[in-house]
Amino acid sequence: MKNKRILSWIMTMGIVIAGMEVCAGCKKGEVIVPDSTRFDVDFNAMDTYMTLTAYGKNAESGLEKAKTRIQEVEGIFSVTDENSDIYKINHRETEQIAISDEVMNVLGEALTISERTSGNFDISIYPVLREWGFTTGEYQVPEESVLQELLQKVDYTKISVDSDEKTVTLADGMEVDFGAIAKGYSGDMAVAALKEAEVTSALLNLGGNIQALGEKPDGSSWNVAIKDPVFTSEYMGVLSVKDKAVITSGGYERYFEDRDGNTWSHIIDPSTGYSADSGTMSITIVGTSGMEADALSTAMYVSGIEKASEYWKTYGGFDMVIITKEEEVYVTEGIKEDFTLMGNYKDKQVHIIEK
Ligand code: ADP
Ligand code: MG
């Protein structure tokens, strides 16, 4: 009995002493969470499945805040939710519509990328996207004449923003869709929420859009794998990143097959009204802004490798991994040391795109 009490006393002392050592200088009552303590949340949002992982202090509460923020962004940018800001733009009763700073910010980025790609990226592609059935899942190959008619309404130059008045004006019949950019933006907002909660290490998977906050708890980089665009349950390479968004667009992601066996993807070339077919199977963007990386992945996929390389040389600030239809791999020089081939691509040569 006595021995037991002594043992429990020693154990208590041991814990207290250990605690005091770790807690030297910290506030009274503060709970010490080892850096490696991991929390996860997963949920459906923005038409996809998301898994958020964070480590260390405030990880659990930070993740809840990040999740809430993503749901908020979803509520703002949804095309179908009648209460969303975008729904209000598309179902406008007046020519000029008041918009929030948040919508203004994302719209501004979208229009910049539209200008820089001469309209290969165009959020007013929505009427065409709907005709193909990509908004409902009731797929069809539209008549050429119908596409031509709808393309009359697709023109980002007819979207004008008044940043002083905080309004947007669209030409008659135009509709917009932020499907190529809002998810990336929500990743930025989730990271901001985590940072605000003083979380320093997290990896967010927003339906394949990866957003890394800081580094792994052991101080090493995160390893982010890129899908093999043919055998999509396998991976073709891995990127080592810290504090970056890694976002891929590919024709294999969402598509349908018509009666003749042709496949049609949900990324539309606004110059034709048909699925983009510029010679690439997938383009991955690595950058510091999730919003920009998301928009660019779509924009560069439509543009193709030549124009994407030109864009990168002109504007920079991001890196790319491009897989062509011939299964050739191109990587911009900024990440050449951080990229490793794997799987079916293991023995291939990586072509470096240089400035
Ligand atoms: P995912 O959403 O599967 O990750 P993307 O980021 O490439 O893929 O976005 C595809 C979405 O972008 C489409 O579902 C559609 O809403 C929108 N979209 C399609 N083509 C274009 C385009 N040329 N410009 C801007 N947005 C587009
Ligand atoms: Mg995108």
89 pLDDT higher than 80: yes
Structure tokens at 95: 């020519």
Q: What is the pLDDT of residue 23?
A: 40
Helix (H) or strand (E) holding 150, with range, is helix 144-151
C-alpha distances out from residue 355 to 86, 220, 332, Å? 38, 28, 8
d(Cα 127, Cα 131) in Å, to the nearest integer?
A: 6
Question: What is the position in ligand 1's atom list of the atom closest to the CA of 208?
Answer: 4
pLDDT in tens, 42-73: 999 999 999 999 999 999 999 999 999 999 99
d(Cα 32, Cα 56) in Å, to the nearest integer?
A: 9
Three-class SS state of 258: coil
Q: What percentage of the chain has pLDDT greater than the value 90? A: 88
Contact 120, 307 (CB under 8 A): yes
Q: What is the pLDDT of residue 278?
A: 95
CA-nearest of 248, 253, 255 to 209 is 248
> Does the predicted model carry a pTM greater than 0.75?
yes
Pocket test for ligand 1, best of 80, 159, 297, 298 (most atoms within 8 A of CB): 298
Q: Nearest residue CA, atom 9 of ligand 1?
A: 180
What band does 35 get if pLDDT is binned at 50, 70 and 90? confident
Q: What is the CA radius of gyration of the chain?
A: 24
DSSP 29-56: TPPP--TT-EEEEEEEETTEEEEEEEES
CA-nearest of 156, 150, 194, 152 to 290 is 194
Q: What is the CA angle 272-308-188, rounded to 5?
A: 100
Distance 285 CA to ligand 2 centre (A): 9
What band does 16 get if pLDDT is binned at 50, 70 and 90? very low
30 pLDDT higher than 70: no
Q: Nearest residue CA, atom 19 of ligand 1?
A: 267
Contact 226, 236 (CB under 8 A): yes
d(Cα 157, Cα 299) in Å, to the nearest integer?
A: 16
| Cα 161 off chain centre by | 24
Query: Could you tell me which residue, 252 or 304, shows the higher pLDDT?
Result: 304
Indicate if ligand 1 lies below 6 Å from the C-beta of 249.
yes
Structure tokens at 96: 């000029």
AA letter at 41 = V
d(Cα 164, Cα 276) in Å, to the nearest integer?
A: 36
Structure tokens at 253: 């992601």
What's the chain's average pLDDT?
92
Task: DSSP letter for 113, please.
Answer: H
Distance 185 CA to ligand 1 centre (A): 14
Residues 200-219, mean pLDDT to the nearest whole number: 97
Indicate if ligand 1 lies below 6 Å from the C-beta of 153.
no
pLDDT in tens, 270-289: 999 999 999 999 999 999 99
Distance 269 CA to ligand 1 centre (A): 10
Contact 184, 298 (CB under 8 A): no
What band does 131 get if pLDDT is binned at 50, 70 and 90? very high
Distance 282 CA to ligand 2 centre (A): 11
Residues 136-144, mean pLDDT to the nearest whole number: 96
The residue assigned the tokens 């299964």 is: 327
Phi and psi angles of residue 151, each rounded to the nearest 5 degrees, phi first: -65, -20
pLDDT in tens, 217-246: 999 999 999 999 999 999 999 999 999 999
Residues 180-205, mean pLDDT to the nearest whole number: 98
Q: What is the pLDDT of residue 253?
A: 83
d(Cα 128, Cα 48) in Å, to the nearest integer?
A: 22
| Interacting residues of 205 by C-beta distance below 8 A, sequence separation 6+ | 50, 51, 52, 53
Distance 339 CA to ligand 2 centre (A): 21
Query: Could you tell me which residue, 334 or 11, shows the higher pLDDT?
Result: 334
Q: What is the pLDDT of residue 34?
A: 78
d(Cα 48, Cα 62) in Å, to the nearest integer?
A: 21
Task: DSSP letter for 268, please.
Answer: B
Q: What is the pLDDT of residue 28?
A: 56
Contact 191, 201 (CB under 8 A): no
22 pLDDT higher than 90: no
Helix (H) or strand (E) holding 8, with range, is helix 2-22
Contact 346, 324 (CB under 8 A): no
Q: What is the pLDDT of residue 27?
A: 53
Indicate if ligand 1 lies below 6 Å from the C-beta of 266.
yes
Q: What is the pLDDT of residue 347?
A: 97
Helix (H) or strand (E) holding 191, with range, is helix 182-196
Pocket test for ligand 1, best of 106, 109, 123, 125 (most atoms within 8 A of CB): 125
Q: Nearest residue CA, atom 4 of ligand 1?
A: 249
Task: DSSP letter for 235, please.
Answer: E
1 pLDDT higher than 60: no
Q: Nearest residue CA, atom 15 of ligand 1?
A: 179
CA-nearest of 175, 131, 170, 176 to 149 is 131
